[in-house]
Amino acid sequence: MLDAQAHFEQIRDTLPGDGQARAATLAAAEAVGLPTRRVESWHYTDLARLLKSGETAVVRAVDFSSVEALEAHFENGVLQSEPQADGLQITPFLGTLASPDAPSPDNVMANYNHALAQNGLTAEVSGTLAHPLVIRTSGSEPVHLAHKISLAAGAKAVLVDDHMATGYSNVVFDITLGEGAELTLLRSQQAGHQVGLSHVTLEQDAKYKSVAMISGGTLARHEAHVSLKAAQAHAELHSAVLGHGLSKAATHADFTYVIEHQAADTSSHTSAYNVLDGNARGVFQGKIIVRPDAQRVDAQMQTRAMMLSEGAEMDAKPELEIYADDVVCAHGSAIGELDRDALFFLRSRGLDEASARHLLVAAFLEQVTTHIDDEGLSEIMRGLVDAKINTLLGNFNGGASA
Amino acid sequence: MSEAKASMSEAKASIDKETVEQVAQFGGEHYKYGFTTEIDMDRVENGLSEDIIRFISAKKEEPQWLLDWRLDAYERWLTMEEPEWAHVDYPKIDYQDLCYYAAPKSMEDGPKSLDEVDPELLKTYKKLGIPLIEQEMLAGVRKVAVDAVFDSVSVGTTFRDELAKDGVIFCSFSEAVKEHPDLVQKYLGSVVPKSDNYFTALNSAVFSDGSFVYIPPGVRCPMELSTYFRINEANTGQFERTLVIADKGSYVSYLEGCTAPMRDENQLHAAVVELVALEDAEIKYSTVQNWYPGDADGKGGIYNFVTKRGDCREDRARISWTQVETGSAVTWKYPSCILRGDGSSGEFYSIAISNNLQQVDSGTKMIHLGKNTSSKIISKGISAGRSSNCYRGQVSVHPKAANARNFTQCDSLLIGDKCAAHTVPYIEAKNLSALLEHEATTSKISDDQLFFCQQRGLDAEEAVALIVNGFCRDVLQNLPMEFAVEAQQLVGISLEGSVG
pLDDT exceeds cutoff 90 at B223: no
The Cα of A254 is separated from the nearest Cα of chain B by a number of Å equal to 14
B6-18 per-position pLDDT tens digit: 555 565 555 455 5
Contact flag A312-B420 (C-beta cutoff 8 Å): no
In chain B, which among 408-437 make CB contacts under 8 A with chain A?
412, 414-437
List CB contacts (< 8 A) between B399 and chain A.
310
Mean pLDDT value of segment B131-143 = 52
Contact flag B427-A317 (C-beta cutoff 8 Å): yes
DSSP label at residue B9: H
Angle at the Cα of A33 from the Cα atoms of A30 and A34, rounded to 5 degrees: 130
Residue type, B493: I
Q: Least CA distance to B85: which residue of chain A?
A: A40
Please state, in angstroms and rounded to a whole number, the distance separating the CA atoms of residues A351 and B218.
52
Please state, in angstroms and rounded to a whole number, the distance separating the CA atoms of residues B56 and B465.
44
- DSSP for A370-394 reads TT---HHHHHHHHHHHHHHHHHHH-
List CB contacts (< 8 A) between B85 and chain A.
40
Mean pLDDT value of segment A310-329 = 92
Element (H, E) at B19: helix B2-26
Residue A40 contacts B where some CB pair is shorter than 8 Å: yes
Which of the pair, A327 or B20, is modelled with greater confidence? A327
Residue B141 contacts A where some CB pair is shorter than 8 Å: no
Other beta carbons within 10 angstroms of residue B439's beta carbon come to 14
Contact flag A336-B424 (C-beta cutoff 8 Å): no
Strand, helix or coil for residue A92: coil
Strand, helix or coil for residue B70: helix
For CA atoms B287, B24, B264, B412, give the dihedral sign: positive
Strand, helix or coil for residue A24: helix
Which of A308, A330, A335 is opposite residue B429, by nearest beta carbon? A335
| Residues in CB range of B175: below 8 A, 6 or more apart | B154, B212
Mean pLDDT value of segment B37-58 = 84
List CB contacts (< 8 A) between A277 and chain B.
none
The pLDDT value given to residue A123: 95
The Cα of B443 is separated from the nearest Cα of chain A by a number of Å equal to 5
List CB contacts (< 8 A) between A243 and chain B.
none
Angle at the Cα of B248 from the Cα atoms of B242 and B251, rounded to 5 degrees: 60
A15-24 per-position pLDDT tens digit: 988 888 899 9
Contact flag B420-A305 (C-beta cutoff 8 Å): no
Nearest CA to B369 among B395, B389, B340? B340
Mean pLDDT value of segment B461-484 = 83
List CB contacts (< 8 A) between B412 and chain A.
320, 322
Strand, helix or coil for residue A29: helix
Measured in whole angstroms, how far is the alpha carbon of residue A278 from the centre of its chain?
Answer: 22
Q: Which of A351-360, B14-23, B303-312 has the lowest mean pLDDT?
A: B14-23
Mean pLDDT value of segment B281-285 = 95
Model confidence band, residue A1 (pLDDT cutoffs 50, 70, 90): low
Q: Which of A42-51, A112-121, A134-143 has the lowest mean pLDDT?
A: A42-51
Model confidence band, residue B140 (pLDDT cutoffs 50, 70, 90): very low
Contact flag B426-A305 (C-beta cutoff 8 Å): no
Which of the pair, B292 or A183, is modelled with greater confidence? A183
Mean pLDDT value of segment B5-32 = 53
Mean pLDDT value of segment A4-9 = 90
pLDDT exceeds cutoff 60 at A286: yes
Residue type, A189: Q
Q: Least CA distance to A290: which residue of chain B?
A: B420
Contact flag B429-A332 (C-beta cutoff 8 Å): no
Interface test with B, best of A322, A338, A339, A343 (most B CBs within 10 A): A322
List CB contacts (< 8 A) between A295 and chain B.
417
Angle of the A19-32 helix axis to the A108-116 helix axis, nearest 10 = 150
pLDDT exceeds cutoff 50 at B26: no
Q: What is the largest CA-CA distance in chain A?
A: 68
The Cα of B449 is separated from the nearest Cα of chain A by a number of Å equal to 14
List CB contacts (< 8 A) between B441 and chain A.
328-330
Portion of chain B with pLDDT greater than 90, in percent: 43
Contact flag A326-B423 (C-beta cutoff 8 Å): no
Contact flag B427-A335 (C-beta cutoff 8 Å): yes
Model confidence band, residue B22 (pLDDT cutoffs 50, 70, 90): very low
Element (H, E) at A306: strand A298-307
In chain B, which among 392-411 make CB contacts under 8 A with chain A?
399
| Residues in CB range of B205: below 8 A, 6 or more apart | B48, B53, B70, B71, B73, B74, B77
* Residues B100/B55, Cβ–Cβ less than 8 Å: no
Contact flag B429-A323 (C-beta cutoff 8 Å): no
The pLDDT value given to residue B27: 38
Interface test with A, best of B442, B446, B449, B495 (most A CBs within 10 A): B442
For CA atoms B482, B485, B491, B497, give the dihedral sign: negative
Interface test with A, best of B423, B448, B468 (most A CBs within 10 A): B423
Residue B116 contacts A where some CB pair is shorter than 8 Å: no
DSSP label at residue B106: G
Model confidence band, residue A396 (pLDDT cutoffs 50, 70, 90): low
Q: Phi/psi class of residue A86: alpha, beta or left (left: φ > 0; alpha: ψ in -120 to 50)?
A: beta
The pLDDT value given to residue B147: 79
The pLDDT value given to residue B206: 92
Phi, psi of B393 (to 5 degrees): -140, 155
Please state, in angstroms and rounded to a whole number, the distance separating the CA atoms of residues B178 and B189.
17
B331-386 per-position pLDDT tens digit: 999 999 999 999 999 999 999 988 888 999 999 999 999 999 999 999 999 998 89
Which of B429, B438, B443 is opposite residue A332, by nearest beta carbon? B438
* Residues B149/B172, Cβ–Cβ less than 8 Å: yes
* H-assigned helices in B106-211: 119-127, 160-164, 173-179, 181-187, 198-206
Which of the pair, B495 or A120, is modelled with greater confidence? A120
Q: Least CA distance to B447: which residue of chain A?
A: A326
The Cα of B484 is separated from the nearest Cα of chain A by a number of Å equal to 28
Please state, in angstroms and rounded to a whole number, the distance separating the CA atoms of residues B471 and B206.
40
| Residues in CB range of B272: below 8 A, 6 or more apart | B192, B200, B203, B204, B207, B241, B242, B306, B307, B308
Mean pLDDT value of segment A229-242 = 97
Angle of the A353-369 helix axis to the A340-348 helix axis, nearest 10 = 120
- Count interface pairs A-B at CB distance under 8 A: 110
Residue type, A203: E
Q: Which of A201-210, B6-15, B110-119 has the lowest mean pLDDT?
A: B6-15
Q: Which of A163-172, A174-183, B434-443, B477-486 has the lowest mean pLDDT?
A: B477-486
The Cα of A124 is separated from the nearest Cα of chain B by a number of Å equal to 38
What integer best gives the mean pLDDT of chain B?
84
Contact flag A322-B412 (C-beta cutoff 8 Å): yes
Model confidence band, residue B293 (pLDDT cutoffs 50, 70, 90): confident
Contact flag B428-A314 (C-beta cutoff 8 Å): yes
The pLDDT value given to residue A402: 38
What integer best gives the mean pLDDT of chain A?
91
The pLDDT value given to residue B416: 84
In chain A, which among 330-369 make CB contacts under 8 A with chain B?
330-337
Please state, in angstroms and rounded to a whole number, the distance separating the CA atoms of residues B121 and A59.
79
Contact flag A295-B417 (C-beta cutoff 8 Å): yes
Interface test with B, best of A260, A288, A291, A321 (most B CBs within 10 A): A321
pTM exceeds cut of 0.95: no
